[in-house]
Amino acid sequence: MCGIVGYVGHSNAQQVIISGLEKLEYRGYDSAGIAVIGKNGMESAKFKGRLSVLDNYLKDHPLEGNIGIGHTRWATHGVPSDENAHPHFNQDKTIAVIHNGIIENYLELKAMLLEKGYQFRSQTDTEVVAHLFDLYYDGDLLKTAFKVESEIRGTYAILAIHQDSPHEFVALRCEAPLVIGYGKGENFVASDIPAVLEYTRDVAFLENGEIAHVTADNVVVYNTKHEVVRKQPFTVEWTLDAATKGGYDHFMLKEIHEQPQGIRDTINTRMDAKGYIKLDDIKLTKEDIAKFDKIYVVACGTAFHAGCVGKYAIEKLARIPVMCDIASEFRYQDPFVDDKTLVIVVSQSGETADTLAALREAKRKGARILSITNVVGSSIARESDDVFYTWAGPEVAVASTKAYTTQLVAFYMIALNLALAKNTINEKHYFELIDQLKQTADILEEMLKDDSREKEVAGLIKDKAALFYLGRGVDMQTAKEMALKLKEISYIYAESFAAGELKHGPIALIENGTPVIAVSTQSAMVEKMVSNIQEVKARGAYVIGIGCEGDSLLASVCDKVIYIPRVDDLLTPLLSVVPGQLIAYHTTCMKGFDVDKPRNLAKSVTVE
């Protein structure tokens, strides 16, 4: 999840690196640092806190040079502090190292290095890497990198520079993403594409076990056998503007408003001339599909909630049993996975460590892997048998919005494709659902023109200590996602419950004035939801309903109702979640918190 930028070329390294790190702030971090080699040798600066702390210092104490590395850290070993911030150095500060991931055998390496007289300044696992470079360095930085790689175990994206080699740096990759940016007389390595887009559109990804030797004029990549690997760069088509706020106050609000286009792009790129869904990156045949006796959906956080909606759609349309499992638990439960199982893994970044580990466990057991991700070339995409890219574009805000709705679209399209292959849906219903799915983009665009209702609700709940969400059927999954959005950015305690479970315990939490948001979009369950709402109303709850237009029954028992346009019950999660996103957004703004960078959270969770 840390931001990494390395540069060598003809420009001011400090400016390039700081600019690149700014583009990676969405990844979440607690400190920032930089090291540059110039005429004065190795110079560095690093501080706990926002990148602006480092940037302000550098304005008065600039680092001169044309090669350097920079880092934004999210703590895994050692508390956030200046000492624990990256880069880390050998004892005489001639070597600088930055690292994303976890060195699993750092304690034994540290013990070995201590015996050899090395001293440690930090509590991090990364510092052992700097001392290993010192231990093995014999004047050849690349050969040293090969030796260091043979000693370390774990997940890592590592960049290293040496004062005696002011024309080169090395990059090592294992499980944590690194992208090469190819320039003219300059080259870059970063943890994500936005960091280099200002300077180049030609990029390539490092694979596991590969090491890149980077100079201003060349990038040479080696595999685990130290053989040269020929990389074929590809051109990034989306613009840098796509990763900026575009006139909105926050990235999150911008991304909420980008959802209609994300839905259109995800659908329209996968329709053939006759109106059928064509899943170009999914090679499942009718025979493959007929073989599956079950499906597992595995994901974390918001992606898991999307998967739970996907379960509902697949079971309803394709009539295949679906189990949803949290990725961090999946591989420890000896799941019932074999060669008759389809495992669908979901990850916005395609780098989520727990989801990647679950993918590998399922693959080891013989399952077919289908991934839903937003990042082309990500680790999860590369290791899957089939891939559904959501085409949401860059999502910068930590709280996911457009990634979620495009993941829902992916599940609907996969469910329809499975259903048609299994003959569990007739063509009339198939095309009706596709038409309605297409229409949701226009409907959502119209909904987003007026968020006054959500602002009003935000004003009512912003000073509350807790808030509860209710739902039945697929609405229960929407309620879970709404609760997650509110808690992760506003820090209000928010919890969701299956409305029918209230009487089995949760209703004890309701007291006079407790705000409750009740999601009720499923036509067959409205009467049941009304009964549940009456139960919390009788205990003093203030109830905000979210339902479909024309539902007068819901309005009769709620204090306030936000209506969404009526669509097929199966598709309502695409629309009903948006009021929850906007309520969370406006509540957080009213409380004065940082909407895009909530505390303790990161965008791409690349450690377990």
The chain-wide mean pLDDT, for the chain, equals 93
What pLDDT is recorded for position 28? 65
Give pLDDT tens digits for 174-212. Answer: 988 899 999 999 999 999 888 999 999 999 999 999 999
Residue after which a domain boundary falls, among 447, 464, 482: 447
For the segment 147-154, the average pLDDT, to the nearest whole number, is 95
Are 386 and 267 contained in the same domain? yes
- For 53, the domain range is 3-240
Q: Say whether both 299 and 383 belong to one domain.
A: yes
Task: Tell me the pLDDT tens digit for each residue of 432-482.
Answer: 999 999 999 999 999 999 999 999 999 999 999 999 999 999 999 999 999
Picking from 424, 447, 470, the residue at the C-terminal end of a domain is: 447
481 and 428 both lie in a single domain: no
Q: Among residues of the chain, what percentage have pLDDT more than 90?
A: 81
Q: What is the mean pLDDT of residues 311-325?
A: 97
Domain shared by 250 and 236, yes or no: no
Asked if 143 and 68 sit in the same domain, the reply is yes
351 with 406, same domain: the answer is: yes
Domain final residue pick, 447, 464, 496: 447
Asked, for residue 600, whether it belongs to a domain, the answer is no
User: Do 173 and 24 belong to one domain?
Assistant: yes
Does residue 331 belong to any structural domain of this protein? Answer: yes
Return the pLDDT at 56. 97
Q: Look at the chain and count its residues.
A: 608
Q: Provide the CATH number for the domain around residue 328.
A: 3.40.50.10490
- Number of domains forming the structure of the chain: 3
Average pLDDT over residues 117-121: 97
Residue 208 inside a domain? The answer is yes
The answer to the question of residue 608 being in a domain is no
Spatial distance between the Cα atoms of 319 and 298, rounded to a whole number of angstroms: 19
Q: Is residue 597 part of a domain?
A: no
Confirm if 157 and 191 have CB atoms less than 8 A apart. Answer: yes
CATH number at residue 136: 3.60.20.10
Query: Residue 8: inside a domain, yes or no?
Result: yes
Residue 603 annotated as catalytic: yes
Is residue 2 part of the annotated active site? The answer reads yes
Rounded to an integer, the average pLDDT of 140-150 is: 98
Asked if residue 270 is part of any domain, the answer here is: yes
pLDDT exceeds 60 at position 421: yes
Six-digit token string for 528: 């049941």
Candidate list 2, 324, 548, 558, residue with the active-site label: 2
Structure tokens at 527: 């009467």
- What is the residue whose two structure tokens read 């969404």? 564
Say whether both 33 and 181 belong to one domain: yes
The residue from 231, 402, 480, 603 that is catalytic is: 603
**Interval 135-151 mean pLDDT:** 97
Assess whether 226 and 284 both reside in one domain: no
| Res 607 pLDDT > 60 | no
* pLDDT above 80 (res 394): no
Distance CA 352, CA 354 (A): 6
Instruction: Count Cβ atoms within 10 A of the Cβ of residue 455 and give its class: 0-12 exposed, 13-18 middle, 19 or more buried.
Output: middle
Do 526 and 414 lie in one domain? The reply is no
Separation of alpha carbons 500 and 536, rounded Å: 12
Residue 604 lies in a domain: no
- Burial pattern 460-474, b for ≥16 Cβ within 10 A else e, equals bbbebeebbbbbbbb
The answer on 431 and 378 residing in a single domain is yes
Range from 237-246, 366-375, 485-494, 498-507 carrying the lowest mean pLDDT? 237-246
Looking at the structure, tell me whether residues 207 and 76 fall in a common domain. yes
